Amino acid sequence: MKIGEVARRTGVAPRLVRYYEQQGLLVADRAANGYRTYSEADVERVSRVAGMVRAGIPTRLIKVLLDLEGAQASAEPTCPRTVAEMLAAELDGIEDRLACLTRSRDTIRDVLTRTEHAALLSETAAGAGPAAAR
C-alpha cells in the first residue's frame, strides 16, 4: 500500500510517516517507480510509534525500544548499560506521567459521577461519547 493509505488508516500525516522513516523507526520498501510501499506490519508499527510519541516518549528512545523488542522477539539477550540507564530514566518520567494522568482521570470521573452528567461516563465507555469521535 502507498503512504496515503497508511496515513488514512493510522491517522498519521504522510509527512510524519516519512519522518519516522528518516529517524529509523520504519523501513519502507520501494516499488520500481521509487514510491514507498507498506505492509500491514508497517501500519501497526506506525500506529505504535505514533502512540509512543503521543505518550511523550522521544523518537530517539522509541528507536531503542523498538530495537529491544525486536531483540527480545528473536531471543537476543542484549541491553548495553548506557541503554539501560536511558530506559531507567525514561521509566521514571513515564511513571510520573501515569500518576498525573491517573489523578486527572479520577478527578474527571468523580466530577461527572457527582453531577447531572454521570450518564456521559457510560456513553464514553461504550464508545458513543465525545472521546470516541477523536
pLDDT of the chain, 134 residues: tens digit per residue: 999 999 999 999 999 999 999 999 999 999 999 889 999 999 999 999 999 999 888 888 899 888 888 776 666 667 778 888 888 888 888 898 889 999 999 999 899 888 888 888 877 766 644 544 44
Residue with cell 505518550: 55
pLDDT at position 73 is 66
The rounded distance, in Å, linking the Cα atoms of 57 and 123 is 30
Distance CA 7, CA 28 (A): 13
Residue ranges of alpha helices (H) inside the chain are: 3-10, 14-22, 40-54, 59-73, 81-113, 119-125
Q: What is the pLDDT of residue 129?
A: 46
Q: Is residue 111 helix, strand or coil?
A: helix
What angle, 0 to 180 degrees and rounded to 10, lies between the N-to-C axes of helices 3-10 and 14-22? Answer: 110
How much is the pLDDT for 5? 96
Q: Do 17 and 46 form a contact (C-beta atoms < 8 A)?
A: yes
Q: Hey, which residues does 29 pair with through a beta bridge?
A: 37
pLDDT (0 to 100) of residue 77: 64
Question: What is the radius of gyration, based on Cα positions, of the chain?
Answer: 19
User: What's the confidence (pLDDT) of residue 134?
Assistant: 40
